[in-house]
Amino acid sequence: VVVEAKNITLPAGSTAVLPCHSPRMVWTRDRLKDRQRVVHWDLVRSSPEYSTERILDMSPGGRQRVYNSFNKGRISIPDSAFNDGNFSLVLNNVGAADKGVYTCNLHHHYCQIHQSIQIQLNVTKSARKERRYWDGEKTVFVVLLGSSVALPCVNRRPLWREGLLEDQQQVAHWDFQAPGVRPDKADRLVDLYASGERRDYGPLFGQKMSVAEDAFTLGDFSLSISDVKPQHKGLYSCNLHHHYCGLQERRIFRLTVGPALPSSPPTAPRILQNDGPELKTGAEENPRVVTVILPDHRGYFVQHLGYFLATFLLLAFFVVALIVLIRRHKKRGMDYELRSYDRRAGVSEGETCLDCIELKTCNQEPLNSGYKNNLLKERGMAKDCNVGESCSGSVPLRPAGCR
């Protein structure tokens, strides 16, 4: 992470000091590591009134301390906790008073790291009810009365282990990038280790360049350049690495060399101090500090995902509203056409019924008249047949139509 960037212009032949300070890179403070790393267990009881009680704490250089005399010899954590990262709390002869929420707190004050793990302990008198489950927020242990239980608190990160080469955990190095040279081709000037070891590279870093011997004691890794020449023009970067705490910082300085000062003035050029705003050289530019903050990738992704979902839901709402309006309009048109059709159909049916009644009335008279004429004709023919039989004697003569 680039935490600082400055442009500095100096006359040739002057002395430059490129400041590079970091209070966090002070090795002497980490020598108190026995007090910097602490683990402690707390118990929150539901009664009376959710009281909190400190049960036990421990640091790498000291013995574990039990606060309640009743718990001495009954609860403990492994002595190798800071070596293997296992800070589990062991309780023997569990009683009803042990019920509550236990919290395992891990603190590294030097690296400003704080972690907490919560576990709820319940006590039962039935062996069949013993179990372990997750309630959505923490792990719940249901333990048989009078038995023993180990509440887990494990952290395998190297931060909580004893380092074998702790003198090499803090490293500072200066790089020089000449104009026109790619960053990956930059020259290494010097490597500094907290143990006091120093490695110089190339002809640039020598009598004209130096870093204080007590850099890790004061946290001051400033690079001093005496008798500045045009070949010193370029990009300088101070890189601070704390592998133990995971710290990575970078400071960039662009050095520009101007013409030499005239020899007539009696006053010598002033030496740049560590404080940027107080520099009063003639050709020096105002320092510009650029702080680069890397965003949290999860929050950045969630924020843009929310914008996308909101836009998509708004668009879907407009599409659904448009479809509903179109369907209502079509339904109203169909209802209007059906009513018009029903009106026209009702008039034609009435006319058809009237025609049918008139046809039935007209057809009744021909049917009845034909029926009457047939009866009269049959009666007349019967009379003629009777008359013929009486007149003819033995051979009856029947007119046509007689039976």
pTM over 0.75: no
Split at pLDDT 50, 70, 90, the class of 375 is low
Q: Is the pLDDT of residue 236 over 80?
A: yes
Q: Where are the beta strands (DSSP E) in 127-193?
A: 131-134, 139-144, 149-151, 170-177, 187-193
Backbone angles phi, psi at 249, to 5 degrees: -130, 150
**CA pseudo-torsion sign 331, 333, 338, 343:** positive
Closest to 270 measured CA to CA, from 278, 206, 255, 211: 278
Rounded to an integer, what distance in angstroms lies between the CA atom of residue 82 and that of residue 59?
8
Where do the domains of the chain lie, and which CATH numbers do they carry? 2-30+166-259 (2.60.40.10), 37-157 (2.60.40.10)
Split at pLDDT 50, 70, 90, the class of 161 is low
Burial class (CB within 10 angstroms; exposed 0-12, middle 13-18, buried 19+) of 36: middle
Q: Which residues contact 345 (CB under 8 A, 6 or more apart)?
A: none
Q: Is the pLDDT of residue 168 over 70?
A: no
Looking at per-residue confidence, does 226 or 34 come out higher?
A: 226
* Mean per-residue pLDDT, 143-152: 90
Lowest mean pLDDT among 61-65, 252-256, 342-346, 383-387: 383-387
Burial class (CB within 10 angstroms; exposed 0-12, middle 13-18, buried 19+) of 195: middle
Looking at per-residue confidence, does 155 or 352 come out higher?
A: 155
Q: Is the pLDDT of residue 401 over 70?
A: no
What pLDDT digit, counting tens, does each position of 5-41 carry? 888 888 888 888 888 888 777 766 666 666 778 999 9
What pLDDT digit, counting tens, does each position of 272-330 carry? 444 444 444 444 445 554 554 444 455 556 777 888 888 999 999 999 999 999 988 88
Q: What local confidence, expressed as pLDDT, does residue 294 receive?
A: 47
Closest to 227 measured CA to CA, from 210, 239, 213: 210
Closest to 256 measured CA to CA, from 185, 179, 175: 179
Max Cα separation, the chain? 192
Looking at per-residue confidence, does 139 or 202 come out higher?
A: 139
